[in-house]
Protein backbone atom coordinates (compact mmCIF):
# COMPACT_ATOMS: atom_id res chain seq x y z
CA UNK A 1 0.00 0.00 0.00
CA UNK A 2 1.50 3.26 -1.07
CA UNK A 3 1.65 5.97 1.52
CA UNK A 4 1.19 9.58 0.50
CA UNK A 5 3.60 12.33 1.49
CA UNK A 6 6.46 9.99 2.28
CA UNK A 7 8.99 12.38 0.78
CA UNK A 8 10.89 14.46 3.24
CA UNK A 9 10.16 18.13 3.37
CA UNK A 10 11.16 20.95 5.60
CA UNK A 11 7.91 22.71 4.95
CA UNK A 12 4.97 22.12 7.24
CA UNK A 13 3.18 18.79 7.33
CA UNK A 14 0.23 17.67 9.38
CA UNK A 15 -0.48 14.26 10.82
CA UNK A 16 -3.59 12.27 9.98
CA UNK A 17 -4.56 9.58 12.51
CA UNK A 18 -5.74 6.11 11.47
CA UNK A 19 -7.65 5.68 14.71
CA UNK A 20 -10.42 7.93 15.99
CA UNK A 21 -8.93 10.45 18.43
CA UNK A 22 -10.42 10.89 21.88
CA UNK A 23 -13.21 13.47 21.80
CA UNK A 24 -12.55 16.17 24.39
CA UNK A 25 -16.27 16.48 25.07
CA UNK A 26 -16.54 12.83 26.14
CA UNK A 27 -13.03 12.35 27.55
CA UNK A 28 -12.63 10.81 31.00
CA UNK A 29 -11.06 12.79 33.86
CA UNK A 30 -7.93 10.61 33.49
CA UNK A 31 -7.69 11.44 29.79
CA UNK A 32 -8.16 15.16 30.42
CA UNK A 33 -5.50 15.08 33.14
CA UNK A 34 -3.05 13.24 30.86
CA UNK A 35 -3.71 15.83 28.13
CA UNK A 36 -3.30 18.71 30.61
CA UNK A 37 -6.59 20.11 29.32
CA UNK A 38 -7.97 22.99 31.35
CA UNK A 39 -10.96 25.23 30.69
CA UNK A 40 -8.59 27.88 29.34
CA UNK A 41 -6.48 25.50 27.27
CA UNK A 42 -8.32 23.14 24.96
CA UNK A 43 -5.83 23.30 22.12
CA UNK A 44 -4.77 19.67 21.74
CA UNK A 45 -3.53 18.11 18.52
CA UNK A 46 -4.74 14.87 16.94
CA UNK A 47 -1.57 13.01 17.93
CA UNK A 48 -2.08 13.73 21.65
CA UNK A 49 -5.78 12.92 21.36
CA UNK A 50 -4.94 9.50 19.90
CA UNK A 51 -2.37 8.82 22.62
CA UNK A 52 -5.01 9.80 25.21
CA UNK A 53 -6.69 6.43 24.59
CA UNK A 54 -4.04 5.18 27.06
CA UNK A 55 -3.88 7.99 29.63
CA UNK A 56 -1.47 6.17 31.94
CA UNK A 57 1.16 5.82 29.21
CA UNK A 58 0.62 9.40 28.01
CA UNK A 59 0.91 10.89 31.48
CA UNK A 60 4.28 9.16 31.97
CA UNK A 61 5.52 9.93 28.47
CA UNK A 62 4.80 13.68 28.31
CA UNK A 63 7.05 14.84 31.19
CA UNK A 64 9.82 12.52 30.00
CA UNK A 65 9.61 13.95 26.49
CA UNK A 66 9.61 17.53 27.80
CA UNK A 67 12.56 16.92 30.07
CA UNK A 68 14.61 15.30 27.31
CA UNK A 69 13.84 17.81 24.56
CA UNK A 70 13.29 21.06 26.48
CA UNK A 71 15.41 20.70 29.64
CA UNK A 72 17.25 24.00 30.16
CA UNK A 73 20.70 22.67 31.02
CA UNK A 74 23.10 20.30 29.31
CA UNK A 75 23.46 19.77 25.57
CA UNK A 76 22.16 22.79 23.57
CA UNK A 77 18.59 22.25 22.42
CA UNK A 78 19.50 22.73 18.77
CA UNK A 79 21.81 19.71 19.05
CA UNK A 80 18.99 17.63 20.51
CA UNK A 81 16.78 18.70 17.60
CA UNK A 82 19.50 17.62 15.18
CA UNK A 83 19.48 14.20 16.86
CA UNK A 84 15.69 14.09 16.47
CA UNK A 85 15.93 14.93 12.77
CA UNK A 86 18.63 12.30 12.20
CA UNK A 87 16.53 9.61 13.88
CA UNK A 88 13.45 10.65 11.93
CA UNK A 89 15.34 10.53 8.61
CA UNK A 90 16.70 7.05 9.31
CA UNK A 91 13.29 5.80 10.45
CA UNK A 92 11.49 7.43 7.53
CA UNK A 93 9.20 9.68 9.60
CA UNK A 94 8.67 12.64 7.28
CA UNK A 95 6.31 14.38 9.69
CA UNK A 96 8.76 14.26 12.62
CA UNK A 97 11.67 15.29 10.39
CA UNK A 98 9.81 18.36 9.12
CA UNK A 99 8.69 19.51 12.57
CA UNK A 100 12.13 19.12 14.15
CA UNK A 101 14.01 20.62 11.21
CA UNK A 102 11.94 23.76 11.75
CA UNK A 103 12.73 23.72 15.49
CA UNK A 104 16.44 23.30 14.72
CA UNK A 105 16.29 26.30 12.40
CA UNK A 106 14.52 28.42 15.00
CA UNK A 107 17.09 27.55 17.66
CA UNK A 108 20.29 27.55 15.60
CA UNK A 109 19.69 30.23 12.96
CA UNK A 110 21.67 27.96 10.60
CA UNK A 111 19.14 26.99 7.91
CA UNK A 112 21.91 25.67 5.64
CA UNK A 113 22.32 22.66 7.95
CA UNK A 114 18.79 21.38 7.32
CA UNK A 115 19.06 22.27 3.63
CA UNK A 116 22.03 19.90 3.39
CA UNK A 117 20.23 17.17 5.31
CA UNK A 118 17.16 17.69 3.14
CA UNK A 119 19.35 17.08 0.07
CA UNK A 120 21.69 14.33 1.30
CA UNK A 121 20.00 12.80 4.36
CA UNK A 122 22.23 11.62 7.19
CA UNK A 123 25.19 11.50 4.77
CA UNK A 124 25.13 15.30 4.52
CA UNK A 125 28.46 17.08 4.82
CA UNK A 126 28.37 19.37 7.88
CA UNK A 127 30.91 21.18 10.00
CA UNK A 128 32.77 18.70 12.25
CA UNK A 129 30.82 19.18 15.48
CA UNK A 130 27.39 18.81 13.86
CA UNK A 131 28.69 15.94 11.71
CA UNK A 132 29.82 14.04 14.81
CA UNK A 133 26.33 14.50 16.31
CA UNK A 134 24.65 13.47 13.05
CA UNK A 135 26.79 10.35 12.64
CA UNK A 136 26.24 9.16 16.19
CA UNK A 137 22.50 9.84 16.01
CA UNK A 138 22.13 7.90 12.76
CA UNK A 139 24.09 4.91 14.05
CA UNK A 140 22.24 4.81 17.39
CA UNK A 141 18.98 4.84 15.46
CA UNK A 142 19.92 2.30 12.81
CA UNK A 143 21.87 -0.27 14.80
CA UNK A 144 22.26 0.44 18.53
CA UNK A 145 23.88 -2.94 19.19
CA UNK A 146 26.74 -2.00 16.84
CA UNK A 147 27.86 0.95 18.99
CA UNK A 148 31.29 0.54 20.56
CA UNK A 149 33.48 2.66 22.82
CA UNK A 150 35.09 4.10 19.68
CA UNK A 151 31.81 5.83 18.76
CA UNK A 152 32.18 8.16 21.75
CA UNK A 153 35.53 9.50 20.54
CA UNK A 154 34.33 11.82 17.72
CA UNK A 155 31.79 13.44 20.08
CA UNK A 156 34.36 13.95 22.83
CA UNK A 157 36.83 15.35 20.29
CA UNK A 158 34.24 18.02 19.47
CA UNK A 159 33.95 18.99 23.11
CA UNK A 160 30.89 17.03 24.20
CA UNK A 161 31.06 15.82 27.79
CA UNK A 162 29.76 12.39 28.70
CA UNK A 163 26.66 14.10 30.14
CA UNK A 164 26.17 15.91 26.80
CA UNK A 165 26.46 12.56 25.03
CA UNK A 166 23.87 11.14 27.41
CA UNK A 167 21.53 14.08 26.63
CA UNK A 168 21.95 13.39 22.91
CA UNK A 169 21.36 9.68 23.44
CA UNK A 170 18.10 10.42 25.25
CA UNK A 171 16.93 12.75 22.45
CA UNK A 172 17.73 10.24 19.70
CA UNK A 173 16.16 7.41 21.69
CA UNK A 174 13.04 9.53 22.27
CA UNK A 175 12.60 9.63 18.50
CA UNK A 176 12.94 5.86 18.19
CA UNK A 177 9.80 6.07 20.33
CA UNK A 178 8.04 9.09 18.81
CA UNK A 179 8.65 8.04 15.20
CA UNK A 180 7.07 4.64 15.86
CA UNK A 181 3.98 6.16 17.46
CA UNK A 182 3.56 8.49 14.51
CA UNK A 183 4.20 5.72 11.98
CA UNK A 184 1.98 3.02 13.47
CA UNK A 185 -1.00 5.20 14.41
CA UNK A 186 -1.30 7.51 11.39
CA UNK A 187 0.48 9.17 8.51
CA UNK A 188 1.67 12.60 7.38
CA UNK A 189 -0.68 14.71 5.31
CA UNK A 190 -0.39 17.98 3.45
CA UNK A 191 -1.66 20.94 5.44
CA UNK A 192 -5.13 22.25 4.70
CA UNK A 193 -5.06 25.07 2.12
CA UNK A 194 -4.87 28.52 3.62
CA UNK A 195 -8.29 30.01 4.19
CA UNK A 196 -10.05 26.66 4.36
CA UNK A 197 -12.87 27.21 6.89
CA UNK A 198 -12.48 23.62 8.10
Partner 1 sequence: MAPDSATQADLDRLLAAGMTPRAVVSLSQLIAYVNFQSRVLAGLRMLRDAQ
**Interaction site with partner 1 (CB under 8 A):** 1, 3, 6, 18-20, 50-51, 53-54, 57, 61, 91-93, 140-141, 144-145, 147-153, 156, 162, 165-166, 168-170, 172-174, 176-181, 183-185, 187
Decide whether 13 or 140 has the Cβ nearer to partner 1.
Answer: 140
Minimum Å gap between C-beta 95 and partner 1 is 11
Q: CA–CA separation, 169 vs 159, rounded Å?
A: 16
Minimum Å gap between C-beta 147 and partner 1 is 5
Minimum Å gap between C-beta 40 and partner 1 is 27
For 195, phi and psi rounded to 5 degrees?
90, -5
Minimum Å gap between C-beta 89 and partner 1 is 11
Q: CA–CA separation, 170 vs 57, rounded Å?
A: 18
Residue 134's alpha-carbon distances to 2, 29, 55, 130, in angstroms, are 29, 41, 33, 6
Could you tell me if 43 and 68 are in contact, meaning their C-beta atoms sit under 8 angstroms apart? no
**Per DSSP, which regions of the chain are E strands?**
14-17, 186-189
Minimum Å gap between C-beta 150 and partner 1 is 8
- Can you tell me whether residue 117 is helix, strand or coil? helix
Q: CA–CA separation, 198 vs 195, rounded Å?
A: 9
Q: CA–CA separation, 198 vs 79, rounded Å?
A: 36
Q: CA–CA separation, 8 vs 122, rounded Å?
A: 12
Decide whether 105 or 133 has the Cβ nearer to partner 1.
Answer: 133
Decide whether 13 or 105 has the Cβ nearer to partner 1.
Answer: 13
Minimum Å gap between C-beta 102 and partner 1 is 21
Decide whether 83 or 114 has the Cβ nearer to partner 1.
Answer: 83
Decide whether 102 or 173 has the Cβ nearer to partner 1.
Answer: 173
Q: CA–CA separation, 184 vs 17, rounded Å?
A: 9
Decide whether 86 or 105 has the Cβ nearer to partner 1.
Answer: 86
Amino acid sequence: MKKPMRDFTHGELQWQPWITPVDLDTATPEQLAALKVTPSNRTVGAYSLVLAHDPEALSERSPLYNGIMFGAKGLPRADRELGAVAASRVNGCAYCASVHALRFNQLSKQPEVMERIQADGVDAALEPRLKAILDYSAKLTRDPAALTAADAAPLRAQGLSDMDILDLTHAVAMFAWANRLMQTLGEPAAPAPAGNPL
